[in-house]
C-alpha cells in the first residue's frame, strides 16, 4: 500500500511538472520558427519576439482571476477548462492569416496557460505539509526543466519538415493530452475550503496575500530571477542564429542542452533541502551565482569573446542558479498562504509574467539597434541586480510594515 501511495505521489508530481512546463512548451518550441514568422508577415528582425510578449501578457493577466476561480470551483474543473482553451487558441494561432491575428491568439493562449500553470503550486499547498512541499516543488521544477531541453529540438524538427504553423498544431495536441491526463486525478480542494467570488471576499483574499512580508519579497525575487533567465530566452534566436550565425539545428541542440541546466539546479535544491539547508540560504546562493554569471556575459562582447563556446556555459550557470532560486522562493512565498493558495499562486505568476513580458518587450525593441549579445546581457544584469536588491531588502527587515497582523 505504501509503495502504491508513493507511486501515485510520483505520478502526480510528474504530471504537475508537465503542467508547469506549459510556458517553455509554448515559448521555446516556437523559437526556431520566429525568423519564418517574421519573413511571412514582412516584419523586421527581432519583431517575432512580440509573439512571446503577447503570450506573456495574457499569461500575466490570467492568474488574477484564475486563482480565485480555482479557490471557488476547485482545481480539477478549472484545469480542464484552461487546457481546452489552450488547445483551441494554439490551433487558432496555426490558422492565423495576419501577424496581428497571431498576436491576438497568442495572448489568448497565454491567458489559458496562465490559468493552468497556477494550479500545480496550489495543489501542492493543498496536499502537503511544509517539509514535504519543499521537496515536491524541487521535483516539479526538475520535471519542468526537461521541456526547454526537448522542445527547441521539436520546433527545429517541425521547421525542417513543415513550417511554423505546425508548431502551434503540436502545442494544441499537447494541451489535449494534458487534459486527458487531468481526468485521472481527483480534486485536491475540499468543498468546505472553497471561497466565495464575492468582490469583498476577493479583495480580502488579495489583501492578505499582498500584505504578507514573506510573500511580497520572495515573489519579487522569483519574478526578477526568472526575468533574468527569460531575457536570454527572448533574445536567444537573435543572439545565436543572428549574431553568432548558428544553424537552426545547432541552435536547437545547444539551446536545449543549456536549458537543461535548470534541472541541475532543481535537483541540487532537492538534495540540499533533504539535508535541511534553509530555503533562504539556497535563494541567496542562487542569486550570487546568477549575478556573477550575468556580469560575465555582459563582459564578453567588449572583450571580443562573444562566441557560443564562451557564452553558453555562462548561460547554463544562470539557469542552474534559477533552478536553485525557483522552488525555494516559491516555497517561502507560499508559507503562510494555506487559506488563499489559489489567489497567492495566481499573484506569483502574475508578477512573474508581467516583469518577464516587460523584459521580453525590451529585447524585441532593442534588438533592431544591433549588438544583440550586449543588449540581451544588459537586461540580464539588470534583472539579476533587481532580484539581489529585493532579497537584501527582504532580509534587512525594511518590509516589516507589510507583515500581516499576527505574523
User: What is the DSSP secondary structure assignment for residue 404, as one 8-state letter?
Assistant: P
Residue 14 inside a domain? The answer is: yes
Using only C-alpha atoms, the chain has a radius of gyration, in whole angstroms, of 20
Separation CA 303–CA 294 (nearest Å): 15
DSSP 40-62: HTTPPTTGGGHHHHHHHHHHHHH
Neighbour-count burial of 45, counting CB atoms closer than 10 A to its CB (0-12 exposed, 13-18 middle, 19+ buried)? middle
Neighbour-count burial of 201, counting CB atoms closer than 10 A to its CB (0-12 exposed, 13-18 middle, 19+ buried)? middle
Separation CA 279–CA 331 (nearest Å): 8
pLDDT digit string, tens, across residues 271-308: 888 888 888 899 999 999 999 999 999 998 888 887 88
How many CB atoms neighbour CB 275 within 10 A? 6
Residue 201 inside a domain? The answer is: no
User: What sign does the CA torsion over 279, 284, 287, 292 have?
Assistant: negative
Residue 190 inside a domain? The answer is: no
Neighbour-count burial of 240, counting CB atoms closer than 10 A to its CB (0-12 exposed, 13-18 middle, 19+ buried)? buried
Question: Cell triple for residue 184?
Answer: 485521472
pLDDT digit string, tens, across residues 19-70: 988 988 898 888 788 888 888 886 655 677 788 888 878 888 888 788 788 8
Separation CA 225–CA 208 (nearest Å): 24
Separation CA 155–CA 169 (nearest Å): 11
Residue 64 inside a domain? The answer is: yes
Question: Cell triple for residue 214?
Answer: 514573506
**Nearest alpha-carbon partner for 145 in 285, 274, 270, 296:** 270
Residue 105 inside a domain? The answer is: yes
CATH code of the domain in which 352 resides: 1.20.1250.20
> pTM (2 decimals)?
0.73
Residue 400 inside a domain? The answer is: no
Question: Cell triple for residue 5?
Answer: 501511495
In a 13 Å sphere around the CA of 262, the CA atoms on its Cβ side amount to 28
Separation CA 337–CA 377 (nearest Å): 35
DSSP 55-90: HHHHHHHHHHHHHHHHHHH-HHHHHHHHHHHHHHHH
Please give the tally of structural domains in the chain: 1
Q: What is the pLDDT along the chain (407 residues), one digit of tens a residue?
A: 343 445 567 788 888 988 988 988 898 888 788 888 888 886 655 677 788 888 878 888 888 788 788 888 888 889 999 999 999 999 999 999 888 999 999 999 999 998 998 888 888 878 877 777 777 888 887 887 787 777 877 888 888 888 899 999 999 999 999 999 999 888 877 777 777 676 777 777 778 788 888 888 999 999 999 999 988 888 887 888 877 878 877 877 777 778 778 888 888 988 888 888 888 899 999 999 999 999 999 998 888 887 888 888 999 999 999 999 998 998 888 887 767 777 787 788 788 878 887 887 888 788 777 778 888 899 999 999 999 999 998 888 644 444 444 44
**Nearest alpha-carbon partner for 182 in 244, 127, 120:** 120
The answer to whether the beta carbons of residues 256 and 150 sit under 8 Å apart is: yes
Separation CA 193–CA 315 (nearest Å): 43
Residue 192 inside a domain? The answer is: no
Residue 376 inside a domain? The answer is: yes
Residue ranges of alpha helices (H) inside 74-163 are 75-94, 99-127, 130-144, 146-161
Q: Which domain holds residue 86?
A: 2-184+212-394
Amino acid at each position: 500500500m505504501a509503495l502504491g501511495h508513493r507511486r501515485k505521489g510520483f505520478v502526480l508530481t510528474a504530471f504537475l511538472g508537465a503542467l508547469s512546463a506549459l510556458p517553455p512548451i509554448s515559448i521555446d518550441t516556437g523559437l526556431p520558427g520566429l525568423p519564418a514568422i517574421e519573413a511571412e508577415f514582412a516584419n523586421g528582425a527581432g519583431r517575432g519576439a512580440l509573439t512571446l510578449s503577447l503570450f506573456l501578457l495574457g499569461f500575466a493577466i490570467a492568474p488574477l482571476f484564475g486563482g480565485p476561480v480555482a479557490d471557488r470551483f476547485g482545481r480539477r474543473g478549472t484545469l480542464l477548462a484552461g487546457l481546452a482553451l489552450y488547445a483551441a487558441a494554439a490551433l487558432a494561432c496555426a490558422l492565423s492569416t495576419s501577424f496581428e491575428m497571431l498576436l491576438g491568439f497568442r495572448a489568448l493562449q497565454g491567458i489559458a496557460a496562465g490559468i493552468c500553470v497556477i494550479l500545480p503550486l496550489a495543489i501542492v499547498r493543498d496536499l502537503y505539509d511544509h517539509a514535504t512541499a519543499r521537496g515536491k516543488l524541487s521535483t516539479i521544477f526538475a520535471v519542468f526543466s526537461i521541456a526547454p531541453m526537448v522542445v527547441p529540438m521539436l520546433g527545429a524538427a517541425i521547421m525542417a519538415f513543415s513550417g511554423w504553423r505546425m508548431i502551434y498544431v503540436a502545442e494544441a495536441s499537447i494541451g489535449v493530452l494534458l487534459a486527458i491526463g487531468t481526468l485521472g486525478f481527483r480534486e485536491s480542494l475540499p468543498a468546505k475550503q472553497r471561497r466565495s467570488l464575492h468582490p469583498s471576499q476577493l479583495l480580502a483574499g488579495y489583501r492578505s496575500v499582498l500584505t504578507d512580508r514573506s510573500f511580497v519579497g520572495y515573489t519579487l525575487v522569483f519574478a526578477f530571477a526568472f526575468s533574468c533567465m527569460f531575457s536570454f530566452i527572448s533574445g536567444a534566436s537573435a543572439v545565436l542564429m543572428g549574431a553568432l550565425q548558428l544553424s537552426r539545428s545547432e541552435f536547437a541542440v545547444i539551446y536545449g542542452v543549456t536549458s537543461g541546466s535548470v534541472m541541475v539546479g532543481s535537483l541540487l535544491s532537492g538534495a540540499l533541502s533533504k539535508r535541511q539547508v534553509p530555503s533562504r540560504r539556497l535563494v541567496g546562493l542562487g542569486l550570487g551565482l546568477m549575478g556573477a554569471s550575468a556580469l560575465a556575459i555582459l563582459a564578453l562582447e567588449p572583450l571580443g569573446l562573444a562566441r557560443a563556446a564562451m557564452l553558453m556555459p555562462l548561460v547554463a550557470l544562470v539557469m542552474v542558479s534559477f533552478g536553485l532560486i525557483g522552488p525555494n522562493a516559491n516555497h517561502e512565498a507560499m508559507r503562510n498562504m494555506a487559506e488563499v493558495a489559489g489567489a497567492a499562486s495566481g499573484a506569483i505568476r502574475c508578477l512573474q509574467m508581467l516583469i518577464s513580458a516587460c523584459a521580453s518587450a525590451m529585447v524585441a525593441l532593442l534588438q533592431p539597434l544591433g549588438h544583440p549579445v550586449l543588449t540581451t546581457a544588459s537586461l540580464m544584469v539588470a534583472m539579476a541586480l533587481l532580484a539581489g536588491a529585493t532579497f537584501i531588502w527582504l532580509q534587512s527587515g525594511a518590509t516589516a510594515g507589510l507583515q500581516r497582523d499576527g505574523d
